[in-house]
Chains A and B, each alone.
Chain A
Amino acid sequence: MKPALPSVPISHRTTAAAVVVSLVAASLLFLHPVAQGSAPPTAVFWLVLVVLGGAALWTIRRVAAIQGTRFDGVLTAALFGLWVLYFWQMLVVAFEVPRVLLPAPTLIVQALIDNYAKLWGDFTQTVLKAVCIGWLLGSGLGFAVAVAIDRMPFLQRGLLPLASLTSTVPLVAVAPIAVMWFGFEWPSKAAVVVLMTFFPMLVSTLAGLQASGKLERELMHSYAASYSRTLWSLRLPAATPFMFGALKVNATLALIGAIVAEFFGSPTVGLGFRISTEAARMNMSLVWGAIVVAAVTGSLAYALLVQLERRAAFWHPSVRGK
């Protein structure tokens, strides 16, 4: 764990060259018959793989040590992910791991391409209909209720403890009831999502509305600003980091809610349906494909919200510090 980095930093150019060289070597090895699964692994293959492993670790450390550029953090993570995928592929092929157990990444990509239309249908059903609508409705309702009861301390004192308690309750368990009430189609999934996303947004918005400083509030008061003016110009902006926190949590919760709800009954389309039926048929490459779709969706939504937050709350210390 000791920092073994030399005191005189090797230049970025050397690092970049090392990364490129190791990646080229890796792709050359990928074309080797052993890596394609057409020949048993040889000692030379193992030796090259071990050397490549060393090179991978070294380049990751070098890239991680780069400072100052805007993308260095992303670069390190991307390089790390790339190497993990590479060794997953190589080791799975070399050890002949059964396809059912752990398919190689290339097989998963193949399944993604082959079942493009099917997965697109699942994506539309689960994400575009259930998750998006439910997330917007749930978060919007949470926000609206929070702003509405902002002026009623009695309601706040009554609702806030109850809303806080819901975070300890597995709300996703209402899925069977939602399916019973709203049927198998997407409205039942959206209903679960609405319920799961409502409370985090309510609690966070209420907390955010209290977040503006006393000084600022007194300043608004000395300007004779009306309630709505203070709300609009001071308290809502001050609440944005809190609201974005809830929106990000909700994005993940919404995906979980929709997929779990599909387990209790769904039309023959949807990510959750696909995963459970294909897993039952032991068609694991397609299961992994569906997971990739879900993971990419979740990550993209998260990244999008982070970017939006930077635009909307650019003034906040937690954003400014980056």
Chain B
Amino acid sequence: MATSSKPAPPPVSPPGRPEVKRAPLGLSPAAPSLPAQGGTGRRDLASGMGLSSKPHAVGERGGLVSRAWEQGLPVAVMLLVFMLIWYGGAWGMNATGAVERVLEPSGNPWNWQDLLITTLNMERPVLPAPHQIALDFWSSLVDWPVDSPRNLLFHVAVTGETTLVGFVMGTVLGLVLSVLIVHSRTLDRALLPWIVASQTVPVLAIAPIVLVILGSLGLEGLAPKAVIAMYLSFFPVTVAMVQGLRSPQVIETEMMHTYAATRWQALWMLRLPAALPFLFPALRVGIAASLVGAMVAELPTGATAGLGARLLTGSYYGNTLAIWSALVMSALLGLVLTTLVALTEHLALRHRRQP
């Protein structure tokens, strides 16, 4: 320690900066080390929310190749191990069924190779092998016209629409609520605890009620599902924006005051820009939550289209492959939606990169 005479900064809040007053209400595990501005702090938050894909330390010398080596190799090895375990699991879990339903009835003598091939190519396996899922996935994309309910893209369109509408509604609601809460002490104290409590109500529980109430108002189809998606996605936005809108330092708000800026001007020119680094991680969480909401909402609404409905019909008819294809598709949809938000973030904040 003798070599470094410079005192290290306190780990949490940089000097002159008010400590983050409110714990982030459980959404972001990395809450305590909330971002000062941009850069590293934001990455902490993002990785805490489980969204960071950046490596922890890429050396300056590290070009694209060494970075790919450092990051890609471990991931590739992990994926390979995972695949092997999967194949092993498929073999183990399907073995009994394969013997009982395929090999014994055929009457021919069989050896372990036959067993292996049979287990990996069963019609209704307990655990389908990855290549079976890939084939089923591909055929559901290619073999049917896009508007057929057997085509997964049809279901993706339905669920994606619900997700996006719910996400936009949730984001708007979250923004409005956070602006109100930041400007009114009464709302801060009266409303915020209930907003937190609202998230402890399981979303599927409120779905039938939303259906009944909106149905009596004559709203059916998209609206109830979007409302349920909104219910899940407004929360991260609200909580993060309350924190973000409060993030400007005292000195900055005082300067706005000396300029005789109105509340609106202070909001527009200081608070909102300062809150953007908080907003985007919340949006990424919000759109993933919105997707969960949209899929769950399809279960009790008796929807016939959408990824959730596809899961339900697959489960009714014991069609394992259909379930797994829908599962893969929903994972892909989630990834694509989050990537879109991350790209928007990159565009919006590209001038704020710290050197």
Contacts and interface: CB of A to CB of B under 8 A. Distances in A.
B296 interface: yes
Contact of B32 (A3, A179, A241): A241
Nearest to B336: A168
Given A169-B335, A200-B29, A252-B200, A164 B52 contact: yes
A245 B205 contact: no
A276 B162 CA distance: 22
Given A61-B186, A64-B190, A260-B296, A255 B50 contact: no
A171 to B, nearest CB: 9
Given A163-B50, A215-B8, A242-B29, A174 B327 contact: yes
Interface stretch (A35-43, A68-76, A110-118): A68-76
A264 interface: yes
Contacts of B330: 169-170, 173
B189 A170 contact: no
B11 interface: yes
Interface stretch (A12-20, A228-236, A288-296): A288-296
B204 to A, nearest CB: 5
Given A164-B47, A168-B338, A180-B315, A295 B212 contact: no
B331 A169 contact: yes
B295 A173 contact: yes
Interface in A120-179: 154-159, 161-170, 172-177, 179
Interface of A is mostly: helix
B209 to A, nearest CB: 7
A98 B47 CA distance: 48
B323 A177 contact: yes
Contact of A264 (B12, B315, B334): B315
B291 A76 contact: no
Contacts of B337: 168
B26 A245 contact: yes
A299 interface: yes
Contacts, number: 258
A167 B296 contact: no
A255 B216 contact: no
A257 B275 CA distance: 32
Interface residues of B, number: 93
Contacts of A203: 29, 47-48, 50
B11 A157 contact: no
Given A64-B186, A294-B201, A245 B295 contact: no
B253 to A, nearest CB: 15
B78 A80 contact: no
A7 interface: no
Contacts of B209: 279, 284, 287-288, 291
B260 interface: no
Contacts of A162: 75, 78-79, 82
A317 B32 contact: yes
B95 to A, nearest CB: 15
Contact of B291 (A81, A170, A319): A170
A192 interface: no
A74 B196 CA distance: 13
B279 interface: no
B205 A290 contact: yes
B311 interface: yes
A64 B185 contact: yes
Contact of A263 (B31, B299, B331): B299
A191 B134 CA distance: 25
Interface in B276-309: 284-285, 288, 291-292, 295-296, 299-300, 307-308
B55 A157 contact: yes
A321 interface: yes
B190 A60 contact: yes
Nearest to B197: A299
A299 B213 CA distance: 24
A79 to B, nearest CB: 8
A167 B74 contact: no
B40 interface: no
A220 B185 CA distance: 44
A211 interface: yes
Interface of B: 1, 8, 11-13, 19-21, 23-24, 26-33, 44, 47-53, 55-56, 70-71, 74-79, 82, 126, 183-186, 188-194, 196-197, 199-206, 208-209, 211-213, 216, 263, 284-285, 288, 291-292, 295-296, 299-300, 307-308, 311-312, 314-315, 318, 320, 323-324, 326-327, 330-331, 334-335, 337-338
Interface of A: 1, 3, 60-61, 63-65, 72-74, 76-77, 79-81, 98, 100-102, 154-159, 161-170, 172-177, 179-181, 199-200, 203-204, 207-208, 210-211, 213-215, 218, 222, 241-243, 245-246, 248-249, 251-252, 255-256, 259-260, 263-265, 271-272, 275-276, 279, 282, 284, 287-288, 290-291, 294-295, 297-299, 301-302, 305, 316-319, 321-322
